[in-house]
Amino acid sequence: MKSTLPPPVVSRKAIIFKEAARLFREKGYSGSTLRELAGKAGVKGGSVYHHFSSKQEILFTIMEHTMSTLIMRVQEAIATETKPIDKLRKAIQFHIAYHTADSDETFVTDAELRSLDADNLTAIVGMRDHYERIFRQIMEEGVARGEMQIGNVRLASKALLQMCTGISSWYRPEGEKSISDIADYYIELFFRGISRTSAAEAGGRAVEL
């Protein structure tokens, strides 16, 4: 019989990663100390440097992982659809789902751009632009096909992403509304607005929460 325990399911590095996201979200990057982070990860201050070369690298790792996951998975999410309006629906649903599921990481990725070194900033901003471009392209295709009326795609995509990303700043899992309910309502809101006339005449299913 083997006497040794199996390797832990989550590596210490993964624990530090997760606790860093939580702490950076709560106190900000500059407001968080390596010693407190280490403590939450069950380790003493200096030991963190066995897994990361610097505090900055921890932040960058979080952001890079978040952005590359966002880009990869939003593309998967829209790949199954052909109509731009359905692509946009799927993209919004994924965006909101990910921003609530991994809310610590996404919040930090949105809020701590200013804490990145010059090179790291360039890399992350590039990925963020890439992600935003996916949404803009769907919208442009939707306009070209006559499915959407968007006077300014750049403004509209910024408005959309900002209102959806913001969910992660107030959403708490123990709340009464499910993530998919919230997502459905945001989609309805963005597609049809709040006007009585337009909403009443629009085609799709109505969502009442």
Partner DNA sequence: CGTAGAATCTAACAAGCGTTAGTTATATTC
Partner DNA sequence: GAATATAACTAACGCTTGTTAGATTCTACG
Task: Phi first, then psi: give them for residue 58, nearest 5 degrees.
Answer: -65, -50
Least distance (Å) between residue 172 CB and a second copy: 13
Residue 173 binds which of a second copy, DNA, none (CB < 5-8 A, kind-dependent): none
What tokens appear for 143 in the block?
């306009």
Q: Could you give the 3-state DSSP secondary structure of residue 95?
A: helix
> What's the token pair of residue 187?
């989609």
Name the one range near DNA by CB under 7 A: 4-12, 140-148, 154-162, 196-204.
Answer: 4-12
Rg (CA), the chain: 20
Q: What are phi and psi of 173, to 5 degrees?
A: -55, -30
- The distance of closest approach from Cβ of residue 150 to a second copy in the complex, given in angstroms and rounded to an integer, is 5
Query: How near is the Cβ of 78 to a second copy at its closest, in Å?
Result: 16
Q: How far apart are CA 99 and CA 110, in angstroms?
A: 10
Residue 172 binding result from a second copy, DNA, none, given CB thresholds of 5 to 8 Å by partner type: none
> Over the range 114-149, which residues count as b (16 or more CB within 10 Å of their CB) and which as e?
ebbeeebeeebeebbeebeebbbebbbbbbeeeebe
Q: Does residue 119 touch DNA according to CB under 7 A?
A: no
When CB distances are held under 5 to 8 angstroms depending on the partner's kind, the choice from a second copy, DNA, none that residue 119 binds is: none
- 95 closest CA partner among 31, 176, 182: 182
x/- contact string, 18-57, with DNA (CB under 7 A)?
A: --------------xxxxx-x----xxxxx-xxx-xxxx-
Whether the Cβ atoms of residue 86 and residue 147 lie closer than 8 Å to each other = no
Contacts with a second copy by CB under 8 A lie at 26-31, 111, 114-115, 139, 142, 146-152, 155-156, 158-160, 162-163, 165-167, 169-170, 177, 182, 185-186, 188-203, 206-209
Instruction: Please say which residue, 22 or 87, places its beta carbon nearer to DNA.
Output: 22
User: Residue 163 touches which of a second copy, DNA, none (CB < 5 to 8 A by kind)?
Assistant: a second copy
Distances from the Cα of 204 to the Cα of 86, 142, 201, angstroms: 12, 16, 9
Return the residues of window 55-114 that contact DNA according to CB under 7 A.
55-56
- The residues that touch DNA, with contacts defined as CB under 7 A, are 4-5, 7, 11-12, 32-36, 38, 43-47, 49-51, 53-56
